[in-house]
Amino acid sequence: MRWLAAPLGLALLAAFTLTVAAAAWAFPIYNWDMFAYFAAAHEAPGISVEALHRHAYETMRQNAPAGDFIVLTQDRDYRVRQYADPEAFFSMLGFYRVKLLYVEGIRWLSSVTDPYTALRLLSVVPAALTGGLVIWWLARERALHLAPLAVALLLIGEFGETAREGTPDALSTMLFVAAMLAFMAKREAVVAILLFIAFLARPDHAAYIGVLWFVSIFTRSFSWGAFVAFAAAAIVYVPMTQAGGHPGWWVHFWFTHVEYVPTLEGFDPDFSLAVYAYAVVRVIVRSLVEETWLAVLVIGCFAWWQMALRGLDFSRRETTVLVTTLMAIGAKMVVFPLHETRFHLPYLIAFGLVLICALRDLRFLPGADGVSRQAGLRSAA
């Protein structure tokens, strides 16, 4: 029956991916950010603030259920103000324009379909392709028989919820997972291109890209693709954020972790170490009690430790991905902590798949505590 394991694993992952994509299309999650992305993608020379505001809210009104629209416009003072005040709404768009690839994707697709469908396609299609990349990764490593573990990883990582959201996360996850698959295959030109494009979808990927390049030096698996992507990201980051009207790190930090101020016009709070420390602690606590990404890391680190105790060697590239994931998530929690699992999903997928694929080299012997493996296969660069 062993020969059936890989085909069944392929079928399981394919069915899971199709189910998630179908559910994401049929049962989307409506969030306030969608208003801002509709407006940012509709901007053009000469268009008025009022016209942008009207376009964003009418697009949502025509597509979201009435109850969801009421919640997104009336359930708190901030949303009431944004609905009533086009100028206040316009001041928020700097947070969203910097997701350049996502905004441009909505703009381009809106030329062939309506804006709402364009935004939904940029979640559903990338989610389906991410499932395909997971299948490709496992097949390449001859680990399709371990597909149930990959499905569990995606479930714990809230992959389905990310696919249902109207945010750049599904798109950036697809691009990032593709980049890490190329990294494992030593396709450095592809790594450089995909990591930079993933950065354009979510600029905070710059932290992971920089750490990946740094760690690859010490593991002697130097990735010039990561270096080129990080250098390009560093070059364009400031011009891109300035052109998008981003209000700056501390204003964004305050807005996210302290208070949803009704307008950013004239808003410039002084830096406070106490506020910063409180926000970091609060995010860690919320991650522990509300989210699942820490569970993936805890389980993954325990599995990594157990494999090491049993003498399993990881290749240099595998070690680079594992170490980079832990260091990069830690770095992001210091620079700009975020508790939601969707922000960490692409890193969790790469981290988890490396560990899952390592299990294919373990042969658990009945009645024995140890494992046997083909020596040297995984220790090669």
Average pLDDT over residues 50-54: 97
Average pLDDT over residues 302-330: 93
Residue 116 lies in a domain: yes
Residue 211's identity, in one-letter code, is V
Residue 1 confidence class, pLDDT cut points 50, 70, 90: low
Residue 9 lies in a domain: yes
* 177 contact partners, CB below 8 Å, separation of at least 6: 130, 133, 134, 137, 346, 349, 350
Residue 45's identity, in one-letter code, is P
Residues of the chain with pLDDT > 70: what percent?
A: 94
Question: What pLDDT digit, counting tens, does each position of 77-97 carry?
Answer: 999 999 999 999 999 999 999
Question: What pLDDT digit, counting tens, does each position of 110-135 carry?
Answer: 999 999 999 999 999 999 999 999 99
Residue 112 lies in a domain: yes
Q: Please, where are the H alpha helices in 85-223?
A: 86-91, 94-97, 100-109, 115-140, 147-156, 159-164, 169-184, 188-201, 205-218
Whether the Cβ atoms of residue 297 and residue 348 lie closer than 8 Å to each other: yes
Structural domain boundaries enclosing 237:
2-372
Q: Reply yes or no on whether the pLDDT at 212 is more than 90.
A: yes
Residue 317 lies in a domain: yes
Residue 377 lies in a domain: no
Residue 97 lies in a domain: yes
Its pTM stands at 0.93
Residue 312 confidence class, pLDDT cut points 50, 70, 90: confident
pLDDT of residue 311: 82
Average pLDDT over residues 174-186: 97
Number of domains the chain contains: 1
Can you tell me the distance from the alpha carbon of 348 to that of 314, in angstroms, rounded to the nearest whole number? 18
Query: Closest Cα to residue 86, out of 47, 61, 51?
Result: 51
Average pLDDT of the chain to the nearest whole number:
93
pLDDT of residue 309: 86
pLDDT of residue 4: 86
Residue 18 lies in a domain: yes
| β-sheet bridge partners, residue 364 | 371
Tokens 């001859």 appear where? 142
Average pLDDT over residues 217-232: 95
The two tokens of residue 15 are 């069915």
Residue 380 lies in a domain: no
Q: Reply yes or no on whether the pLDDT at 72 is more than 50.
A: yes
pLDDT of residue 362: 62
